[in-house]
Amino acid sequence: MNVRTWYGIRRLYEAPFRDRVLLLLVVVAAFYYVTWSVVQWVTLTPAALRFDFVNYFGGAQAAAHGTDIYADFKRSWGTQAWVVAYIYPPFFALLLAPLTSLGLLAAARIWLLAVHAAFLGALALILRIHPELSRGGRRLLLLASLGFMPVYLNLKFQQVATVWLLLITATLWAVLRRTDGMAGGFIALAASLKVTPIFLIPLFARLDRWRVAVFGSVLLVALTALTILAAPGSWQFFTVVLPRIGLGTANWDNGSIDGLVSRIVQLWPTLLGGATQTAAKLLIAAVAAVVIGVTIWSSRGTGRLKRSHRTEARLAWGDAPAWTLRLSVAALMTALLIASSVTWQHHLVTLLLPIATAIAWITVRRPGARYAWWLAAAYVMCWVDRRAFPLPADLQVHSPGQAALVLAGTSVKLVGLLLLWMLLLRMLQYERRLAVVVPERPATGATVQPAA
């Protein structure tokens, strides 16, 4: 029996009907987003701020009064130090310092509005740098964004991930427009809020965008020097904070490679005898280096084409160099989440840019249905939280069966990240093959598609 002939199923294969369904779902999702956000903003209480914003506020107060930003961190260091102290670069504390005179609750409400503005601004910019998206594709992206669990977790904890997403999206927009100084400035700001965007500098160097890499490096050094001068003792971020938080955590919500390895060591601390801890640290460092290194190396794209091709290629939105740029940034963003010492689920809001790039690329290249299914599987796994699995309520493992269940249930996000990362690398590989098979002077209107 062919279910595609059934009335309800058959209508979904009709583009106009499918677009109307998507529009209805986007309207429903937008209504939920607005309602949820208004309720959160109106009912915000100091108790709701105890997880993250109170730590931002404490760091900002220290910056405003010229005291040690990281004093609480040094006093309370432990396996969960990042939930009881300010751990970000000094720039973020200085940025929030003017709000401290308003009090905790008023400052939190203003910051929450900024988080919303960053999310909506990032969405608008993502749509702008992906003009290949069809009307249905744009609606699908909006639906995926407004229905993405990490978005709401980011808002709940007033996190910086949406600001990070906006700055990296703005960096890509500026690079595509060849405004290299502006792109370097966005990189400097992003890396001053959260260190990992610093890897955009070697990425753009690999892509032969040396002006962007140089501007980003110089501006980042200048901004870092200014913030260290403005906040006494903030140099400890590099000498004390980074080395300690880089050790990661076995917390069940940590979705990075570091989290998985740390959980294995916690469950079997003598797996390799006395060398278990050392081997785990070496494995974590090696995997991070491989994931980030492979991503940057794979981003060479069409930069190695023959001179005749390079001369004729102009960096327009839809040509091969632009696709290489977008896919490379998307792959690196995903790789950084995999390799980070700590990746909470609300950090995954930054995946909206890679997901948009993947949807737009599939729309243009039409490589086969398996790419779309691959992307959908990655999205679902990054959406699912460990609480969807019957894990021990007391967060303690009491049997080998429970240990296996915990490792599986707490690694779903990591599997989703790995799927998305490998998909983006495959798309980059596809672009390289496409550049090789395109004739030196293709006929007008002719397109040559390589085997997927």
Convert the chain into a string of H (helix), E (strand) and C (coil): CCHHHCHHHHHHCCHHHHHHHHHHHHHHHHHHHHHHHHHHHHCCCHHHHCCCHHHHHHHHHHHHHCCCCCHHHHHHCCCCHHHCCCCCCHHHHHHHHHHHHHCHHHHHHHHHHHHHHHHHHHHHHHHHCCCCCCHHHHHHHHHHHHCCHHHHHHHHCCCCHHHHHHHHHHHHHHHHCCCHHHHHHHHHHHHHHCCHHHHHHHHHHHCCCHHHHHHHHHHHHHHHHHHHHHCCCCCHHHHHHHHHHCCCCCCCCCCCHHHHHHHHHHHCCCCCHHHHHHHHHHHHHHHHHHHHHHHHHHCCHHHHCCHHHHHHCCCCCCCHHHHHHHHHHHHHHHHHHHHCCCCCHHHHHHHHHHHHHHHHHHHHHCCCHHHHHHHHHHHHHHHCCHHHCCCCCCCCCCCHHHHHHHHHHCCHHHHHHHHHHHHHHHHHHHHHHHHHHCCCCCCCCCCCCCCC
**Mean pLDDT value across residues 314-330:** 75
Residue 48: its pLDDT value, please? 84
Asked if the model's pLDDT at residue 308 lies above 60, the reply is no
Asked if the model's pLDDT at residue 450 lies above 60, the reply is no
Residue 302: its pLDDT value, please? 52
Asked if the model's pLDDT at residue 359 lies above 90, the reply is yes
Asked if the model's pLDDT at residue 247 lies above 80, the reply is no
More confident residue, 442 or 211: 211
More confident residue, 300 or 208: 208
Residue 138: its pLDDT value, please? 95
Q: How confident is the model at residue 78 (pLDDT cuts 50, 70, 90)?
A: low
| 106-155 pLDDT, tens digit each | 999 999 999 999 999 999 999 999 999 999 999 999 999 999 999 999 99
Asked if the model's pLDDT at residue 438 lies above 60, the reply is no
| 27-47 pLDDT, tens digit each | 999 999 999 999 999 999 888
**Mean pLDDT value across residues 423-430:** 95
Tokens at 238, concatenated: 């590099």
Contact 232/63 with Cβ under 8 angstroms? no
